Copies of this chain bind each other. A is one copy, B any other.
């Protein structure tokens, strides 16, 4: 960890503080959903399809129902048979999944029936007693095949299996390539990887008196879960209450409603008891979402001086059996790759298709991870043909403050160049690049890749990208923040607390953040798209500013002075120039409560960024701000084994302003490690739609033992719209890691490997083919 680049003295903003929830988490006192039980609670288990594509002929649940200890067995017949989908607000076609399928199963793992019983063991046993008669259908697993005429029809009426396509162009592509002195072209593949947070998905559902459903779920977007649950169960939104249990990690996998949620609700309704379902680790792999496998064809051209003249990008996305967030992911991937550089001639296309594989969805980066891997790889292949330095090329063609992108994004703060310059310095880029230092069979290289990412939300859930917050000052000297913004494991509550502390002069230990109950919280679209600090932080700030005004007015009245004479710090009110505080803040609030005709101190804030929804071509200023970054990977490749070792990774990210620098560094380090996992180790291996490695032993995530020095560089570009200048940082940190490592391999060996992960086998094969391996 490097020191943060800028800390304002005596100020909560920019102070590196420990997470407000660190203590309880370290001590094991946090009550996660896994830990939580309700009186009279039953346990649920889900029966999944063993076939990748089949018609459901008959389900016989009688033997299961007769088993001692079984309370309820549910099939589609117990549901309204409505379909759901995360993006259904945009188009009803995007809702294609039933909680329990009625007519067909479309992947191995598809939900067919469920049991609630007195114990998990009984429920598990009961699953075996459910007899499902299937009529097997031809299946398709390869996304190229699925995209061809005559492929098996997976969803009725969608003969071509095409979920979404996208085609955007500016300028004259042909002329752009004609102007180019050199052209690079390649096909890149980004594999299926899963975030696999430590806590598997779980749900508890309770109907209370039968009229209203309460669901405990670890969700990034409590209000959307509420709405989606209500819709799929045929209820009004107000009939559902979602209580978010504490989250260790979201990473996008907890953005959307999973079938576990409505199934749990249906079981609880039928059982007339609370029901809890907890996924096993195997189910977590089988039944939750993962990063879309995407094949990307990229063609780029530049003049000899490094001016980018044309770019072409074509994505083919394997959504798997259902759509989930597929179309959105493809567009985000395409838009970000397309706007990383300024270019006058561009064409971006994508096709997203169904297959009979398990289905993918959101994961940190949301398409950008894949798209940027491909694009920054192709750019590097292009640069290799030019006589310009890779850093200089990027500075020359990169985004600049004040210049809109060709897709209409308005760049009001841009630390892109500073990320490259500072990152190159820290990584000793000039010294190490192109050296191919060799020791025995091992050779060194360095690679760079960069990123643009939404840094202040994305108006892609209809017309709201808003966050509400209310803030109460209490007579015990403490502050309650009731925010719609979430804590999804990334430190949001710490930042909200710092903002309140900054405005109100209270210390962090006096602040409680309440943001887990849709009956209590103000509206918030949810936590995604790097919007938590930006949008919800702005709302918390507005609420705190209002409360500050009320507090100062009360204190001034109590002290018989003007509010302008007062300041707030160290949980106290101070008269200008005084050596001792005039009153503690708790005393001021207490006196407000304890005066005849009293009052309370309560501020409100609602923030919706000045953005627009993108049009069908992805055009529009869709985020309140844009974040930038550059990563430099220094690696050593063993030419005998193909094994890559990372010696050091420098990650420079423009976060606008680091409200909590150690929080930003934690995001960078975590993101980099997730990027490294995808670059080198992780892969969900499917065979005929069956996941072959649904376990931590066979799905190889990097652990602490795989760590290496990461140098985080925080670049502060002071965004005019963000709270105190801050922009989001959570997603972008894993995005450039993939290409930085791939480009370092290129630097070390001159060999391009364009399929992830860069396993020793794959690298060695490429080195063999290029004749540079040592055997």
Residues of B within 8 A of A209 (CB): 23-27, 29-30
Restricting to A542-595, which residues have a CB under 8 Å from any CB of B? 586, 593-595
Could you say which of A114-122, A191-199, A443-451, A607-615 contacts chain B? A607-615
A316 on the interface (CB 8 Å rule)?
no
B476 & A238 in contact (Cβ 8 Å cutoff): yes
The answer to whether B476 touches A236 (Cβ under 8 A) is yes
State whether A523 touches B474 (Cβ < 8 A).
Answer: yes
Binds B, one of A31-39, A55-63, A423-431: A31-39
- Whether the pair A520, B510 counts as a contact (CB closer than 8 A) is no
**Chain B residues near A459 (CB, 8 Å)?**
596
Contacts of A602 in B (CB 8 A): 468, 470, 522, 604
A597: Cβ under 8 A from any B Cβ: yes
Contact with B along A206-250 (1 / 0, CB 8 A): 011111000000000000001100100000111001000000000
How many positions in chain A have a CB within 8 Å of any CB in the partner chain?
65
Query: A597 — which chain B residues lie within 8 A by C-beta?
Result: 608, 610
CA distance A717 to B402 in the complex (A): 69
Q: What CA separation (Å) do A464 and B474 show in the bound complex?
A: 14
Closest CB in chain B relative to A600 CB, distance in Å: 5
What does the 1/0 interface line of A436-473 toward B look like (CB < 8 Å)?
00000000000000000000000100111110101010
With a CB–CB cut-off of 8 A, which chain B residues contact A598? 464, 466, 606, 608
A207 / chain B contacts, CB cutoff of 8 Å: 29
A379 to chain B, nearest CB (A): 34
Query: A477: nearest residue on chain B (CB-CB)?
Result: B238
A737 on the B face (CB < 8 A)? no
Give A236 to B207 CA distance when docked, in angstroms.
38
Interchain CB contact (< 8 A) of A27 among B27, B210, B480, B522:
B210
Flag if A208 contacts B24 (CB, 8 Å): yes
Taking a contact as CB atoms closer than 8 A, the residue among B38, B237, B510, B604 that contacts A475 in the complex is B237
B520 touches A482 (CB 8 A): yes
Residue of B nearest to A235 (CB): B476
| Cβ-based interface call for A698 (8 A) | no
A475 to B240, CA, bound (A): 12
Copies of this protein in the assembly total: 2
Q: Provide the bound-state CA to CA distance between A30 and B595, in Å.
A: 37
The distance from the CB of A546 to the nearest CB of chain B, in whole angstroms, is 11
Q: How far is the CA of A514 from the CA of B470 in the complex (A)?
A: 15
A474 in contact with B238 given A27-B209, A38-B31, A600-B606 (CB within 8 Å): yes
In the complex the two chains form, is A611's CB within 8 Å of B596's CB?
yes
Residue A695 lies at the interface, judged by CB distance under 8 Å to chain B:
no
Instruction: Check if A463 sits within 8 Å of B522, measured CB to CB.
Output: no
- Residue in A27, A39, A523 whose Cβ sees the most chain B Cβ within 10 Å: A523
* A472-B237 contact given A466-B593, A593-B464, CB 8 Å threshold: no
Interface string of A258-289 (1 = CB under 8 A from B): 00000000000000000000000000000000
Query: A5-44 vs B: 1/0 string, CB under 8 Å?
Result: 0000000000000000001111101110001111100000
Give A523 to B473 CA distance when docked, in angstroms.
Answer: 10
Q: Which of B37, B226, B464, B586 contacts A37 (CB 8 A)?
A: B37
* Chain B proximity mask over A603-627: 1 for CB below 8 Å, otherwise 0: 0101010111000000000000000
Query: Is A478 close to B, CB under 8 A?
Result: yes
Nearest Cβ on chain B to A563's Cβ, whole angstroms: 20
A599 within 8 A of B: yes
Tell me which of B464, B596, B606 contacts A594 (CB under 8 A).
B464
Minimum Cβ distance to chain B for residue A516 (Å): 11
Q: Is A512 an interface residue (CB 8 A)?
A: yes
The reply to whether A238 and B466 form a contact with Cβ atoms under 8 Å apart is no
The answer to whether B466 touches A523, judged by C-beta atoms less than 8 angstroms apart, is: no
Q: Are B39 and A39 in contact (CB under 8 A)?
A: no
A595 to B525, CA, bound (A): 12
Q: Are B610 and A29 closer than 8 Å at their CB atoms?
A: no
Q: In this assembly, does A392 line the interface, its C-beta being within 8 Å of a C-beta of chain B?
A: no
Asked if B477 contacts A523 (CB within 8 A), the reply is: no
- Establish whether residues B480 and A520, one from each chain, have CB atoms under 8 Å apart when the complex forms: yes
A519 at the interface (CB under 8 A from B): yes
Given A472-B522, A608-B598, A39 contacting B29 (CB threshold 8 A) = no
Residues of B within 8 A of A604 (CB): 600, 602
Q: In the bound complex, do residue B594 and residue A477 qualify as a contact, i.e. CB atoms below 8 Å apart?
A: no
Minimum CB–CB distance for A15 against chain B, Å: 20
A268 to B: closest C-beta gap in Å: 11
Are B470 and A236 in contact, CB atoms less than 8 angstroms apart? Answer: no
| CB of A483 to closest CB in B, whole Å | 12
* CA of A236 to CA of B522, assembled, Å: 29
- Extra 8 A-B pairs, beta carbons < 8 Å, given A27-B210, A468-B600, A596-B610: A29-B209, A35-B39, A238-B477, A466-B598, A470-B470, A472-B522, A474-B523, A597-B610
The interface of chain A, by Cβ under 8 A from chain B, is: 23-27, 29-31, 35-39, 207-211, 226-227, 230, 236-238, 241, 459, 462-466, 468, 470, 472, 474-478, 480, 482, 509-510, 512, 514, 519-520, 522-523, 586, 593-600, 602, 604, 606, 608, 610-612
Q: Across chains A and B, which 6 residue pairs bring their CB atoms closest together, nearest first?
A: A237-B476, A24-B209, A238-B476, A238-B478, A464-B594, A35-B39
- Sample (6) of A-B pairs whose CB atoms are under 8 Å apart: A23-B211, A29-B210, A226-B476, A237-B475, A522-B602, A598-B608
